[in-house]
Amino acid sequence: MEFARIRIVSLKNMCSYLFEGSALKASSNYQKYEDNTKVGILLLEDGSFFLGRSFGYPRDTFGEVVFNTGMVGYPEALTDPSYYGQILVLTYPHIGNYGVPSYSLKDEFGLPRYFESVGIKVRGLVVHELCKHPHHWSSSRSLHQWLYEEGIPGIEGIDTRALVRKLREYGVMKGLIAFFDEGEEIPLENLFKKLKGMEDPNAENLVRYVSPSEPLVHAPEDPKFRIVVIDCGVKFNILRSLLRRKAEVVRVPFDTPADEILEYKPDGVLGSNGPGDPKKVEETIAAVREIVEEHIPFFGICLGNQILALAMGADTYKLKYGHRSQNQPCMEIHSGRCFITSQNHGYAVSIESLRGTDLELWFINVNDKTTEGIRHTRAPAFSVQFHPEASPGPVDTGFLFDKFVEMVRRNA
């Protein structure tokens, strides 16, 4: 590949550049807002690249480049374990306006109130413009400070519209973020070779990095029933949604066998969200298959939806660029009612593969007609691809937790 002939995707109002053979010379036209600001480059596996400026912790990183179109909710998104292994592009042009709250602000169950896990889970963050001076009553630090404290690199000044158009046209792809001092050569050819030699994060089981190593218990006052959560990277608001309905929640590692789960004598089991290819979590698929066969009520969310499908003999596939937003319309098949949902996933259940199984289509995406929910026709089991717990996003489908609790009580 002749890097000296690469078309610059968009550098207007961002960084000036000089070609020197197959290298660029880093030079920023912007006044620095921090002494350690560097020139950053986001290189994609198709050879295209974007130049910007560093924020957060200026270290090189690699991951699958994905985008989210939500206008708000970056503290929740950055701590969502489903983003593990990914570089997240936020399409809203101004990010960080309301700062970042403290982990010490807890809800009534002792969980951090404004986050979906403890610690940032993305490998890198890409934005158009970073707010340097946030203002909000709960803010304890800026987005830049938060990322720096947790060792996560960010790059701003990127034409995120052009970047997202590319990802929508060609699909998500591997990407590398690297940083350079002003005037330093950017060795494009070497960076591209490095990127091409890196393995797709989805080639391994990413769930093992976000699942707990041992069981954890959360209980409200006067619990009425027990739910075991197969924790593939569960969001805190899923736990809150169960706890507020008076469930004692036992979180178990993703690879916990069904017989060990049944030793807890659960009234129901929930399969959580999580990162990566669902076919990599073979232990979870096997456990869910046995749980459903035992007619234990089961509720799957996001990755849990794909796991239920695989456990029952259906198939999954990777979407071109996934669903990562807070405004995905999903229609319930039998009623025709449409709900606006929050979503974060890169894989889906094949509708055609449901034929010949005991599963039926329940919800469908109005935009692209992909599977958004399935139900078992003979056992008390259902799942959805979207996030009924929201956080961030609309709460239209929070009633599904009530439906799960009702199923648990009927089965008791």
List the catalytic residues: 302, 387, 389
Burial group, residue 265, by CB count within 10 angstroms (0-12, 13-18, 19+)? exposed
Burial group, residue 173, by CB count within 10 angstroms (0-12, 13-18, 19+)? middle
Reference 69, options 56, 88, 48, 87; nearest CA is: 88
Tokens representing residue 227 in the block: 């739910």
Distance between start and end Cα atoms, the chain: 64
Q: Which one-letter DSSP state was computed for residue 290?
A: H
Distances (CA, A) of 56 to 32, 149, 172, 290: 13, 8, 24, 45
Question: HSE on the CB side for 305, CA within 13 Å?
Answer: 31
Question: HSE on the CB side for 122, CA within 13 Å?
Answer: 30
CA distance linking residue 57 with residue 297, whole number of Å? 44
φ and ψ at 46, to 5 degrees?
A: -85, 0
Give kind and range of the element (H or E) at residue 322: strand 316-332
Please name the amino acid found at residue 256: T
Reference 180, options 45, 64, 34, 36; nearest CA is: 36
The count of other CB atoms within 10 Å of the CB of residue 58 is 22
Tokens representing residue 95 in the block: 């990010």
Reference 271, options 237, 243, 240, 299; nearest CA is: 299
Strand partners, 38: none
